[in-house]
Amino acid sequence: MRTVIVTGTGTDVGKTIVVAAVAALARAAGERVTVLKPAQTGVAPDEPGDLAAVVRLAGAVDTLELARFPEPLAPATAARRAGMPPVTAAQVVEAVRGLATDLVLVEGAGGLLVRLDDAGDTLADVASGLGAPALLVASAGLGVLNTAALTAEALARRGVSLLGTVVGAHPERPGLAERTNLDDLPRVTGAPLLGVLPAGLGGADQHDFLAAARCGLGPVLGGGWSPRSAS
């Protein structure tokens, strides 16, 4: 079993779309995929969350959500305000180790150091606990180079390997920053740019979504997801 931790340079950068794209490519390559969401925030108990979007786009992948909190806040804050127990890094690690699958994608909330609980656990602690590499989903525009560099530095300080960066929602008509960032992201992170996905993929059907995933990620990933550095 291989595990990849999927984090972002912030919120609304396309993490769920990238997770679905990687899952779709792996599924098309014949792999069994499980997507784990440690904490879903801002979604009511009876509403579809990020995992429902992954299944709608990628098809029949297994999913596991460990906790859900109603307010759209950082998991630690949302759990505290709801009077609910938070998710800890140890719980996430235990859940991943209990899975029987080919590939586990762990989708975080927001950025790498967003707190899971008030003790200070973060997605970075999950990556360290599992010895798993990270995939960084980046926004397209101005300001992303700083947050991408900070994320890469935080991962390196913890001994977590960064597989590379994917731009999760590239505009149809990119401006100067969106164009030059594609060259600069590998420079500031020290890891390759693994792909670029166009904005607006959330409404695609499974056939068109897989085609977009192959176009955006396939040239680097060879049409499938098989990071041999993953654990």
User: In this predicted model, what pLDDT tens digit does every residue of 2-30 receive, in sequence order?
Assistant: 999 999 999 999 999 999 999 999 999 99
140-177 per-residue burial string, b: 16 or more CB within 10 A, e: under 16: bbeebbebbbbbbebbeeeebbbbbbbbbbbeeebeee
Whether 226 is in a domain gets the answer no
What is the model's pLDDT at position 159? 95
Query: In sequence order, what DSSP letters do the residues of 19-41 get, joined into one string?
Result: HHHHHHHHHHTT--EEEEES-EE
27-56 per-residue burial string, b: 16 or more CB within 10 A, e: under 16: bbbebebbbbbbbbbebeeeeebbbeebbb
**pLDDT of 78 higher than 60:** yes
pTM: 0.92
What is the model's pLDDT at position 46? 87
Whether 114 is in a domain gets the answer yes
**CATH number of the domain encompassing residue 129:** 3.40.50.300
More confident residue, 124 or 224: 124
The answer to whether 37 is a known catalytic residue is yes
**pLDDT of 223 higher than 60:** no
Whether 75 is in a domain gets the answer yes
Q: Which domain holds residue 151?
A: 2-221
What is the model's pLDDT at position 220? 52
Q: Which tokens is 15 given?
A: 């993490």
Whether 230 is in a domain gets the answer no
Strands 62-65 and 33-37, how do they pair? parallel
Q: How far apart are CA 214 and CA 126, in angstroms?
A: 29
Q: How far apart are CA 25 and CA 30, in angstroms?
A: 9
**pLDDT of 123 higher than 80:** yes
Average pLDDT, the chain: 92
Tell me which residue of 140, 139, 184, 134 sits closest to 157, measured CA to CA.
Answer: 134
What is the model's pLDDT at position 219? 57
Whether 158 is in a domain gets the answer yes
Contact yes or no for 116/38 (Cβ under 8 A)? yes
Strand order in the sheet with 134-138: 62-65, 33-37, 103-111, 2-8, 134-138, 162-170, 193-198
Arithmetic mean of pLDDT, 33-53: 95
Arithmetic mean of pLDDT, 103-116: 96
Q: How far is CA 89 from CA 15, 115, 121, 130, in A?
A: 19, 10, 6, 10
**pLDDT of 229 higher than 60:** no
Q: How far apart are CA 206 and CA 193, in angstroms?
A: 24
Whether 228 is in a domain gets the answer no
Q: Per-residue pLDDT tens for 164-190?
A: 999 999 999 999 999 999 999 999 999
Phi, psi (rounded to 5 degrees) for 167: -85, 120
Of these residues, 37, 115, 170, 214, which one is catalytic?
37
Q: How confident is the model at residue 222 (pLDDT cuts 50, 70, 90)?
A: very low
Q: How confident is the model at residue 103 (pLDDT cuts 50, 70, 90)?
A: very high
Contact yes or no for 89/125 (Cβ under 8 A)? yes
Whether 227 is in a domain gets the answer no
Whether 231 is in a domain gets the answer no
**Count of structural domains, the chain:** 1
What is the model's pLDDT at position 34? 97
What is the model's pLDDT at position 228? 36
Arithmetic mean of pLDDT, 161-166: 95
